A and B are shown apart, each in its own frame.
Chain A
């Protein structure tokens, strides 16, 4: 019995330290709310298939809003309501406590129960029980994180969501398939390949309901746009090699796609009806017009144009067909994408020869810098909002290591890096899904 117990502790420690290493809060963890997440008890035939409480702890830590109490500082580790002594947590000045347990059921499934307590009032705030398989336990863990986040911040959590990104693997280890398109959980775990290619894959973007993913393959014959269906695991090519199309952007109803035609030195925005595949031209200008982003109300497209002499953001209004300039500060402003409620855009802002992440309030057109590329960094690229608009994820390019995922809170206070092994290649163009349920 004692041996089983010590093995259990070791398992939690190992899994916990791995999660902590993977995501590093580089700035702004100071104001985080203390919370105790007691390792969930486990009863089953073999080892627990997932360390659910460690996943919850890593999620809440990563948000920058919470500071989970280290396990070694816990005076007790209750997993049942009756076992809680609230004094143990008041002494530590931890206002919130999470306990839970996981059991293996006779049919091989798992039942997870969790409860969140207000330590000072000695009252349960929320909790639920869920049954899942080995494959869905991580998702259940993220749903627990979402429930805790919602209860304590009043905002919907975005832990049980997906990312898509491109990885370029080193030539030496991967000569023929250098480009990989992946989907993964929001914590970059549970990575699944969508496509492998010798040709560059760029501009992955989720459909508004996150059932599909559009992306571009760049061949010697030109660029073409594909749509990947997540559920059916199939891809459809929607533009053909006689014409070069890139930069896909979904309409909010998912029925149309804005895209850019590269032709005769020009880049112009078109809108395609995805059912009939008929295209309508939107911009007609000798300069570069690219990187369209569809506003969530469907009324306009924000795009990058260098019609004013340098790349800046402009807005095309569908009803008036008029274009207005949005950005005036900074040398360049490019690649906008909207927050889910349409009140903000995030984009790349160039200043001092480097590229940073900025946001604009669409009502006031005020710009705010969220990141500043450091001395070791050259570019912050491809910002994308979390579905709850709490964070912006982007790719940070270092001089010695290209393409590391990073995220920043929308108030600019919390910064984090997702660390990868140096040999694992560069990560590019993260795109955050919408809410999945």
Chain B
């Protein structure tokens, strides 16, 4: 377990670093969709990524990712403390909002995984509201299998990709 949580921290660091890199690149671009009639192609430019607030100081809240079993969306016992810590943080900071991203491994079809990711995100959101967090503080989005954390085509990668991520906005 200790080993796993070290790995988790390592992964979330990687995630933040990658996130920052992306932010740098996207700053120059225009937000939303630009549709050019004359040009050969319809071009969609980069959305401006929201500033990520510094991680809350609580150790458990610093854990931003929880993992799921294949085709499942129930929150495993080992991750309940993490969700609870986020619930406490959000209850104590009613001006903070969080977006829960649901993700899947690559197995199965893209649209089914889109729906499964939505359900994973919602199951986290539901647990937060059960702990007393206001619905207005939470939004959910699914990326299905489109944004894997780890590239790879077996369980060693898949287990890191079936996940929900807390993104503070």
Which residues on A are within 8 Å of B, measured CB to CB?
175-176, 192-200, 202-203, 217-223, 228, 232-235, 237, 244, 246-247, 260, 262-267, 288, 290-291, 304, 310-311, 332, 334-335, 348, 350, 355, 378-379, 381-382, 397, 399, 428-429
Least CB distance, B145 to chain A, in whole angstroms: 9
Which residue in chain B gives the minimum CB-CB distance to A235? B42
Contact A334 B25 (CB under 8 A): no
Pick the 9 closest A-B CB pairs, nearest first: A265-B122, A267-B115, A200-B146, A288-B115, A262-B118, A197-B44, A335-B109, A247-B111, A265-B119
Pick the residue among B37, B41, B73, B112 that contacts A311 (CB under 8 A): B112
Cα of A378 to Cα of B154 in the assembled complex, Å: 9
> If A266-B119, A304-B109, A378-B153 touch, does A233 touch B37 (CB 8 Å cutoff)?
yes
Which residues on B are within 8 Å of A, measured CB to CB?
25-26, 29, 33, 35, 37, 40-47, 49-50, 71, 73, 99, 106-112, 114-116, 118-119, 121-123, 125-126, 140-144, 146-147, 153
Chain A to chain B contacts (Cβ below 8 Å), 19 pairs? A175-B25, A176-B46, A193-B41, A196-B43, A196-B44, A198-B45, A198-B47, A232-B37, A233-B37, A234-B42, A235-B42, A237-B33, A246-B111, A265-B119, A288-B115, A334-B109, A335-B109, A355-B108, A379-B107
Pick the residue among B47, B112, B121, B143 that contacts A304 (CB under 8 A): B112
Least CB distance, B156 to chain A, in whole angstroms: 12
Contact A267 B118 (CB under 8 A): yes
Least CB distance, A305 to chain B, in whole angstroms: 10
Contact A194 B41 (CB under 8 A): yes
Contact B29 A262 (CB under 8 A): no
Q: B44: which A residues are within 8 A, CB to CB?
A: 195-199, 217
> If A221-B141, A290-B114, A355-B107 touch, does A198 touch B119 (CB 8 Å cutoff)?
no
> If A195-B41, A200-B146, A267-B118 touch, does A311 touch B111 (CB 8 Å cutoff)?
no
Cα of A175 to Cα of B26 in the assembled complex, Å: 10
Contact A260 B35 (CB under 8 A): no
Contact A220 B47 (CB under 8 A): yes
Pick the residue among B43, B46, B99 that contacts A195 (CB under 8 A): B43
> If A237-B33, A334-B109, A335-B109 touch, does A262 touch B41 (CB 8 Å cutoff)?
no
